């Protein structure tokens, strides 16, 4: 299958982008693996005619928004994001009516329809820098309330209003004080994603996006990785001389829907094609490109 995928990529001038949470065998055939920010940049800069996005729907939508004239496909049609689904355009409009002075900052883990209502989007890697770049003192921030709290603690001069108040990622929300205690008994440093609950962030040695984890992992020999379990596999592949512990139950089930066979079939049949209304893409593109500009 890997050989067939390589041949089809060349024949069709295709690029495969994969998120850090994808299955190891899918990451192995990707041209680029990274976090949401890195993948957004790669999608914007690619010269490929066909983009095969191995991730979840909001990520493929982002790639399509940045490349409206290119064909963007997802190998699995129902790989969604429960976090993104917690926020609706109606919620944003209602909150904006209540706080007309506020800027709207949306985590990239949101639908295209929601991004079209944002002033700017962000990822976990650049959320603080994005909010800091705004002139507004009040910010409507969604849909992850734990990331909103992280931004608030780093920018106390701003007023961050989570939207919705309890938005969360089920994978990161399952990390507990018991996991911290187990990691301390085991040894090594704790690195956690800012989607983790506030008490986990307070107990961690390092808080970082998945891309940040790749950079930070040079700082110690042993790490307890508090994010989706596949990140530990990726880190071990990059740093084979270091030890990375994962929580085996920390699984994003939608990320695991894409298999190597799905990637091959997607290249053969060029499906499933991502399509979005032109006005939604145009408005969302501005918010995404503003984020990329802030990130340099």
Query: Could you tell me which of 83, 190, 88, 204 has the C-alpha nearest to residue 153?
Result: 204
Report how far residue 66's alpha carbon sits from residue 51's, in angstroms, rounded to the nearest whole number.
11
97-152 confidence digits (pLDDT tens): 999 999 999 999 999 999 999 999 999 999 999 999 999 999 999 999 999 999 99
Q: How confident is the model at residue 295 (pLDDT cuts 50, 70, 90)?
A: confident
Dihedral sign, CA of 47, 51, 291, 210? Answer: negative
Q: What is the mean pLDDT of the chain?
A: 96
More confident residue, 225 or 35: 225
- How much is the pLDDT for 6? 97
pLDDT of 296 strictly over 80: no
Nearest-angstrom CA–CA distance, 183 and 200: 12
Sequence-separated (6 or more) residues with CB below 8 Å from residue 27: 18, 20, 33, 230, 234
Q: List pLDDT tens digits, range 24-42.
A: 999 999 999 998 878 988 9
- Measured CA to CA, the distance from residue 138 to residue 89 in angstroms comes to 19
User: Can you tell me the mean pLDDT for 159-166?
Assistant: 97
Percent of the chain exceeding pLDDT 90 equals 96
Helix boundaries (H) for 99-240: 112-115, 127-132, 145-154, 170-173, 177-186, 198-203, 210-216, 230-238
SS (H, E, C) 51-70: EEEECCHHHHHHHHHHCCCC
Q: For the chain, which domains are there?
A: 2-80+255-276 (3.40.50.10800), 84-168+283-295 (3.40.50.10800), 175-246 (3.40.50.10800)
């Amino acid at each position: 299958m890997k050989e067939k995928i390589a041949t089809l990529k060349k024949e069709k001038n295709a690029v495969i982008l994969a998120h850090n949470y994808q299955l190891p065998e899918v990451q192995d055939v990707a041209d680029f693996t990274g976090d949401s920010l890195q993948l957004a940049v790669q999608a914007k800069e690619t010269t490929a005619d066909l983009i095969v996005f191995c991730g979840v729907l909001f990520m493929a939508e982002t790639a399509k928004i940045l490349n409206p004239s290119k064909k963007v496909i997802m190998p699995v049609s129902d790989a969604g994001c429960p976090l993104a689904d917690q926020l609706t355009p109606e919620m944003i409009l209602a909150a904006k009516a209540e706080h007309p002075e506020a800027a709207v900052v949306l985590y990239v883990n949101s639908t295209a329809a929601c991004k079209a209502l944002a002033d700017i989007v962000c990822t976990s890697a650049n959320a603080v820098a994005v909010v800091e770049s705004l002139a507004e003192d009040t910010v409507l921030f969604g849909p992850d309330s734990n990331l909103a709290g992280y931004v608030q603690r780093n920018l106390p001069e701003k007023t961050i209003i989570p939207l919705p108040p309890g938005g969360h990622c089920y994978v990161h929300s399952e990390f507990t004080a018991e996991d911290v205690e187990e990691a301390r008994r085991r040894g090594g440093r704790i690195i956690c994603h800012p989607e983790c609950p506030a008490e986990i962030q307070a107990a961690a040695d390092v808080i970082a996006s998945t891309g940040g984890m790749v950079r930070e992992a040079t700082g110690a020999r042993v790490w307890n990785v508090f994010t989706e379990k596949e990140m530990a596999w990726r880190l071990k592949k990059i740093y084979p001389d270091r030890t990375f512990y994962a929580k085996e139950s920390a699984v994003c089930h939608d990320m695991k829907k894409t298999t190597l066979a799905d990637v091959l079939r997607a290249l053969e049949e060029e499906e499933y094609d991502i399509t979005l209304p032109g006005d939604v893409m145009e408005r969302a593109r501005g918010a995404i490109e503003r984020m990329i500009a802030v990130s340099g």
